[in-house]
Chain A
């Protein structure tokens, strides 16, 4: 094996949390990145992978400490360097690509200046030379030559997420480093954009002859692009080796679980095609008027039907209008044109009181488990709220129902007295589901219910939803950007883009033989990568 560019040996990291208290985040970790290769460090949130990545370039916050071990970059022990020596390494020998492109560039400096700074911090050159190099870097990163003038003069808020990430990549390559560390470089991007950006990154790495250490939560990404894979959990690297070895024949139980979570979905039970429609959207349009910015059509002539006991999967990337559709379906917002028909009744015909009555039959599960539960209420109160709102049963009866529901969603009963901040994301989402089925509704609108959860937890929550549908016969309007997720439980699928439905039909049809080009693009990108997108 050729010499390694990066060798981490027995590294331990912690955060100082009090005068004498420390919290160990990384325990005795060893990692090798060979020269001219791509290594993927895979782990879920909280595993310590991001801390490890930052520690390599010594980018930890003031509270971060290296407790022991060494980080050798091509022979130099980085842990032994002084701060000023380290400054000469950052940017010059190690290029760092951060996670969130929207906030990783200074909003008050122009792009050209920011890329130029990456050069001028390490090398002396005239302004003309610098500009030439900046242009070359940006072009390499994927910007067309005729657009360079505009990009150089632009401020970050004028560019899209994908473009900003390319700028950040250009920054990292500015001084021809030996190692690029990329911390979840595409998690914040739409799936289709992410693919292209990653392709480019790989190309640049190969061309420059450096190594790439890419941090990610996505096993599929690792499978596609890395030569070597390391799996991290709870501050330890549990498995490490060539890609095929780790992914095809994992030895550690954690790795096995991770690989299993990505297994092909199970299709939910068949539903008779003539089941009564629970929700019908007819030619729905919603236009927003922003002051000084003109009109914006979020939903444009959308029509769909959700049948009893079935799941309609509505898929689209960010800005496609799917969230607005959810709110229209719930009657939380009125359409500009078109009709929303719930249980055979047009929402527009109903008085406020009647609409409220209808809520017994239509409930919702939101995306963000951290925001959809009142932080001051106990789980019991939260789940009981719909019961209380409609005066169902006495207090004692309600408490019994709540206990049942909590049990049904797979939560230990003692959690009834807990508050949301004491629960994990997956647990909170289960609470939200318990709340949603409290009144045994006919329809539950699920607005990206698992997007904010870790991969392993996603699977569990989806299984729960399928179970509940089977037991209660509840219909779902399931909204998501992730096709792999939708595949889990949708009978009918609709693909949304720019407020319109570009293709709709039975699940097997859409997944097996997609007609529209956009659907095909989504499938190729989505089912392969599965990167999280912005909703």
Chain B
């Protein structure tokens, strides 16, 4: 176990660097490249000709946007280290508070979507790979591809049409109660689930084609047992490698789903911010997204190492146990 510590620490350090790089990227995009943020911000609210140069300057100073980009950057960065994400350019409220207020709702939705996606994908993948029937395998195997073409804004409204207005089973909007979570969670789960299913099917089939799977069957194991006991564990690493992408898709999807189903959460915060050119809020949400993705990748990396006994003991443990009796080597 000890040998896991060093690579994990190294990855954690890389993760921090990545988050920093992402932050710098957003800073460049929002504050440096497009030019005068203040003008853009003001222009969104009121007419530009209604503000005098002195008032502009005052506004600039109050938002901390005076001074060179470098000083702005360093100030912001040091503030970030204390958890200060700045203040909303529109309301003045601390961005961190706005985000933490909206976060639980979004996290709940994302978590529900995650569970549905993983369970659905796993079941579909195992069933697809298990069957020996050629046409069934073809049919089931094409389902993930279909799923990838059904993003939230396509399948969501369609589901609403069928289940809310057609069958009147589930609510079409709102944030309250478990029934209101069903359609949004399913809507959210389709694309990530399809991604996971696709990669699981491919890596399970790859594992089944490996010699050790043949050995298992030669011992007398049935197909399902071979898949579940032998292949699944070996097939997980490629799926785990997608963890970051999946989490990213879930978060982005949540923004959409919250809009589709009129739910409160980070989605509304982000969209409002974009429409109002409220740069600090936009930056804050993007950063939160980046942190989530990076953490997911880190966890997946650790998981992959734990799964593989080769990762746990990279050194060839005192090789070649000397064997006697007609001598093996």
Contacts and interface: CB of A to CB of B under 8 A. Distances in A.
Interface of A: 16, 54, 57, 59, 61-62, 83-84, 87-92, 95-96, 98-100, 103-109, 117-118, 121-122, 139, 141-144, 147, 150-151, 154-155, 157-160, 162-163, 166, 168, 171-172, 174, 192-193, 196-197, 199-200, 203, 292-293
Interface string B303-329: 000011110011111011111111111
B83 interface: no
B129 to A, nearest CB: 10
A84 B220 CA distance: 9
21 contacts: A57-B218, A87-B220, A87-B221, A88-B220, A90-B218, A90-B219, A98-B211, A98-B218, A108-B307, A108-B308, A108-B309, A142-B326, A143-B321, A144-B323, A147-B321, A150-B321, A162-B329, A172-B218, A196-B329, A197-B328, A199-B326
B206 interface: no
B212 A144 contact: no
B211 A103 contact: yes
A139 B323 CA distance: 10
A98 B320 CA distance: 22
B1 to A, nearest CB: 15
B11 interface: no
Contacts of B328: 141-143, 162-163, 166, 196-197, 200
B80 interface: no
A193 B320 CA distance: 13
Contact of A59 (B132, B134, B218, B324): B218
A151 B211 contact: no
A232 B215 CA distance: 25
A118 B327 contact: no
B41 interface: no
Contacts of A150: 321
Contacts of B214: 54, 59, 98, 104
| Interface residues of B, dominant DSSP | loop
B138 to A, nearest CB: 11
Pick the most buried of B214, B221, B314, B326: most chain A CB atoms within 10 A of its CB: B214
A91 to B, nearest CB: 4
B211 A59 contact: no
Contacts of B308: 107-108
Given A142-B323, A142-B328, A104 B315 contact: no
Contacts of A57: 218
A142 B320 CA distance: 13
A91 B319 CA distance: 30
Contact of B212 (A105, A157, A200): A105
B219 A117 contact: yes
Contacts of A122: 220
Contact of B220 (A91, A105, A193, A203): A91
A143 B323 contact: yes
B71 interface: no
Interface residues of B, number: 38
Contacts of A200: 326, 328
Contacts of B218: 57, 59, 90-91, 95-96, 98, 172
Contacts of B326: 142, 196, 199-200, 203
A174 B222 CA distance: 18
Contact of A118 (B219, B230, B233, B322): B219
B217 A143 contact: no
A523 to B, nearest CB: 18
Contacts of A105: 212, 215
Contacts of A141: 328
B327 to A, nearest CB: 6
Interface string B73-87: 000000000000000
Interface of B: 132, 134, 209-212, 214-222, 230, 233-234, 307-310, 313-317, 319-329
Given A107-B309, A196-B328, A158 B319 contact: yes
A155 B309 contact: yes
A108 B321 contact: no
A163 B211 contact: no
A501 to B, nearest CB: 22
Contact of A106 (B209, B212, B319, B324): B212
Nearest to A203: B326
B230 A106 contact: yes
A292 B314 contact: yes
B211 A104 contact: yes
A91 B219 contact: yes
Given A106-B234, A147-B323, A162-B328, A155 B310 contact: yes
Contacts of A54: 214
A94 B104 CA distance: 59
A71 to B, nearest CB: 15
B325 A144 contact: yes
Contacts of A61: 209
A449 to B, nearest CB: 27
A193 B329 contact: yes
B329 A192 contact: yes
B157 to A, nearest CB: 38
A235 B217 CA distance: 25
Given A144-B325, A157-B309, A87 B222 contact: yes
Contact of B221 (A92, A121, A159, A160): A121
A393 B212 CA distance: 54
A87 B223 CA distance: 10
A242 to B, nearest CB: 28
B294 to A, nearest CB: 25
Contacts of B216: 106, 117
A100 B305 CA distance: 25
A90 B323 contact: no
Contacts of A159: 321
Nearest to B233: A108
Nearest to A106: B212
A50 to B, nearest CB: 11
A18 to B, nearest CB: 11
Given A98-B215, A106-B215, A160-B319, 15 more contacts: A62-B134, A96-B218, A99-B211, A103-B212, A109-B230, A117-B216, A121-B221, A142-B323, A147-B321, A147-B323, A155-B310, A163-B328, A193-B329, A196-B328, A200-B328
A160 B320 contact: yes
Pick the most buried of B214, B219, B315, B322: most chain A CB atoms within 10 A of its CB: B219
A143 B325 contact: yes
B327 A142 contact: yes
Nearest to A194: B329
A103 to B, nearest CB: 5
A159 B328 CA distance: 11
A270 B217 CA distance: 56
A151 B322 CA distance: 11
A104 B215 contact: yes
A91 B307 CA distance: 28
Contacts of B323: 142-144, 147, 163
B317 A158 contact: yes
Contacts of B320: 160, 163
Nearest to B217: A59
A83 B130 CA distance: 14
